[in-house]
Structure 1
Amino acid sequence: MSLVTMKYFLEKARKNKCAVGAFNFFGLENLRGIIKAASSKKSPVIAMASMGALKVMGLDVVVSAARALSQEYETDIVLHLDHCTDMDLLFMCIDHGFTSVMIDASDKDYDENVRLTRLAVDYAAKTGCSVEAELGHVGGVEDNIVVSEREALFTVPEDAEKFVNDTNIDALAVSVGTVHGFYKLPPKLDFERITAIHTRTAIPLVLHGGTGVSDEDFKKAIGLGILKINVGTELKVHGYFDVMKNTSLAVKDSDPRKVSTAIVDACASIVSTKIEVFGSRGIL
């Protein structure tokens, strides 16, 4: 078993009319839980490291751990760099064995976003690494933001078509009503926008901000062209902090291994549930 590209998994998802879950990990326990769930469900997964996670864990450690766990659980996975704004780090991740990267220049103007994305695409071509980029902007949960302001950050279908043609990316992250973090109110996805973008681009679309979206909305979005769904906050809070707090209080013999085991199991449970919702169980 080995690390495979995001493009490879997303083509499988397209053929099977499902989506691949992409899950952030913050330590070895999270990563093990993600891959354990993938193996048990015979499902593709994308394990995502943020720039912050790499600073804590170390680049070589992350790549080595992903490869080792892929072999231990006898399942292929994608190792993905999430929301990277540092081109030097992105190049280093490609050189060290990441099989997918996301260049995030969504806060730049269109021409600069294209320029940076093209740099990522051209560099990744030498290893076959997949490249994801973002057009529009999926922000965090913000108080006092009105609908018109949020919609101003949404991906414009006509711009998406041009961006894909200008960059030759493998997947496009779109802003269609989700945000990073927990929602104060149920999110309202713009399904008509997803349809319009999918019709114009015909490449895999990515939904960021998957924590808190209803199962019904996930399934509808998948049917309209979403092939990759990112989940991070749920793993961080419910799969790590809550488990650490509750298990630490319950453990009487000061055995940290019990806390680590509980984190692995909690993350595996969250990922397993999402795999069922996304429809990817059994396609490997």
Structure 2
Amino acid sequence: MPLVPTRELVSKAAAAGRAVAAFNVITLEHAEAITAGASAAGSPVILQISENAVRFHGGRVAPIARAAAEVARACDIDVALHLDHVTDMRLLRTAADAGFSSAMFDAGAQPYADNLAATRAAVEWAHGAGVWLEAELGYVGGKPDAPASAHAAGVRTDPREAASYVADTGVDALAVAVGSSHAMTDRSASLDHELIERLREAVPVPLVLHGSSGVGDEELRRAVRAGIVKINIGTALNIAFTRAVRETLAANPDLTDPRPYLARGREAMAETVRLLLGVVSG
């Protein structure tokens, strides 16, 4: 099937009172696992490639983006391609040509005025190129570029400030700080659901939850009911992949062919995707 614009998947989810999940792609196996899990769940999905993943691939976005797009086209469900956590405007400007229908421009660690100015410039470029743009206001924990905890005073997204920010920048979606944290390896995050509801009432664009691997199933369900529309998941896949690879190698210490352990890792990620989609898209 052809790629579907992220805007379309997010709009449909919002209209139905559900969320669409966006899973991080690092390798070809990630893309294959995500689409396999989404197909098994019968749910649309967003493949997202971060600036860090591009850096891992030598700074070249096209090879991994095109590989993910080809995997998506072979899938029997709707799939969108999203460029995530971009801080470099030069990378952002490659988005449309690389096949992305959307991007997240991340100036969240900057002071408010700087974030506003940088994001406004990013939106101006993106809309001129036909790219749907997400941005972040507040501090979602777990990123190395800001020292504050996700639970420190003053880091969560303020609804009044968020309304002004969206109006002044023209962003299409807003990632909000409501208690989640990137790179968590347990699912113990506690979200501020009342704040999510206030943000939903104040902000006219879809709300996005980053750091969702650290959020338990019921917390995710409540977040969707409160107003979250796009849910980003990355670390959960890497945990499943790495565990399966370690188990395979431990059981087969003489194994040198990477295909058996990569296959097990891919299967584990696909099952993780299927289960999480049942939570956020059901």
Q: CA deviation at 1:128?
A: 2.3
Distance, in Å, in 1 between the alignment partners of 2:93 and 2:13 is 27
Q: How does 1:125-140 map to 2 (within 5 A)?
A: 125-140=127-142
Q: CA deviation at 1:184?
A: 6.9
Supply the AA of the counterpart residue of 1:158: R
CA contact (8 A) 1:133 1:171 kept: yes
Q: CA deviation at 1:105?
A: 0.4
The residue number in structure 2 matching 1:255 is 257
Distance, in Å, in 1 between the alignment partners of 2:267 and 2:23 is 15
Q: Out of 224-233 and 180-189, give the one that drifted further.
A: 180-189
Q: CA deviation at 1:123?
A: 1.6
2:98 aligned to 93, 96, 99, which one? 96
The residue number in structure 2 matching 1:182 is 184
Distance, in Å, in 1 between the alignment partners of 2:164 and 2:143 is 28
CA contact (8 A) 1:5 1:129 kept: no
Distance, in Å, in 2 between the alignment partners of 1:2 and 1:169 is 26
TM-score (norm 1): 0.90
Give aligned-pair identity as a percent.
37
CA contact (8 A) 2:49 2:65 kept: no
2:75 aligned to 73, 76, 88, which one? 73
The residue number in structure 2 matching 1:22 is 22
Q: CA deviation at 1:212?
A: 2.6
What is the DSSP-based 3-state SS (H/G/I as helix, E as strand, rest coil) of the residue aligned with 2:82? Answer: strand
1:208 aligned to 210, 223, 243, which one? 210
Q: Out of 58-67 and 161-170, give the one that drifted further.
A: 58-67
CA contact (8 A) 1:26 1:236 kept: no
Q: CA deviation at 1:31?
A: 1.1
Q: CA deviation at 1:183?
A: 6.1
The residue number in structure 1 matching 2:174 is 172
Q: CA deviation at 1:36?
A: 1.3
Q: Out of 179-188 and 29-38, give the one that drifted further.
A: 179-188
Distance, in Å, in 2 between the alignment partners of 1:201 and 1:141 is 24
The residue number in structure 1 matching 2:9 is 9
Q: CA deviation at 1:226?
A: 0.1
- Give the 4+ runs in structure 1 shifted more than 4 A: 144-147
The residue number in structure 1 matching 2:236 is 234
CA contact (8 A) 1:106 1:137 kept: yes
1:158 aligns with 2:163: no
CA contact (8 A) 2:104 2:134 kept: yes
CA contact (8 A) 1:30 1:263 kept: no
Q: CA deviation at 1:253?
A: 4.6
- 1:194-235 per-residue CA deviation (whole Å, 9 max, x = no partner) reads 111110113210111111312111111101110011111111
Distance, in Å, in 2 between the alignment partners of 1:232 and 1:150 is 23
Distance, in Å, in 2 between the alignment partners of 1:225 and 1:137 is 19
Distance, in Å, in 2 between the alignment partners of 1:188 and 1:94 is 36
What is the DSSP-based 3-state SS (H/G/I as helix, E as strand, rest coil) of the residue aligned with 1:48? Answer: strand
What is the DSSP-based 3-state SS (H/G/I as helix, E as strand, rest coil) of the residue aligned with 2:213? Answer: coil
Higher relative contact order (Cα pairs below 8 Å, separated by 6+ residues): 1
CA contact (8 A) 2:187 2:214 kept: no
Distance, in Å, in 2 between the alignment partners of 1:56 and 1:276 is 30
The residue number in structure 2 matching 1:34 is 34
C-alpha spacing 1:96/1:237, structure 2 compared with 1 (3 Å): same
Supply the AA of the counterpart residue of 1:133: A
Supply the AA of the counterpart residue of 1:32: E
Structure 2: which 5+ runs fail to align?
Answer: none
Supply the AA of the counterpart residue of 1:247: T
Structure 1: which 5+ runs fail to align?
Answer: none
TM-score (norm 2): 0.91
1:266 aligned to 262, 265, 268, which one? 268
- 1:141-176 per-residue CA deviation (whole Å, 9 max, x = no partner) reads 89x9788x6131100000000011111111100001
Supply the AA of the counterpart residue of 2:5: T
Count residues in correspondence: 277
CA contact (8 A) 2:66 2:98 kept: no
Distance, in Å, in 2 between the alignment partners of 1:21 and 1:119 is 27
Cα RMSD (Å): 2.1
What is the DSSP-based 3-state SS (H/G/I as helix, E as strand, rest coil) of the residue aligned with 1:229? Answer: strand
Distance, in Å, in 1 between the alignment partners of 2:223 and 2:43 is 19
The residue number in structure 2 matching 1:59 is 61
- 1:28-72 per-residue CA deviation (whole Å, 9 max, x = no partner) reads 111110011122222111111111211233311122112211122
Q: CA deviation at 1:96?
A: 1.9
What is the DSSP-based 3-state SS (H/G/I as helix, E as strand, rest coil) of the residue aligned with 2:64? Answer: helix
Distance, in Å, in 1 between the alignment partners of 2:148 and 2:100 is 36
Q: Out of 149-158 and 172-181, give the one that drifted further.
A: 149-158
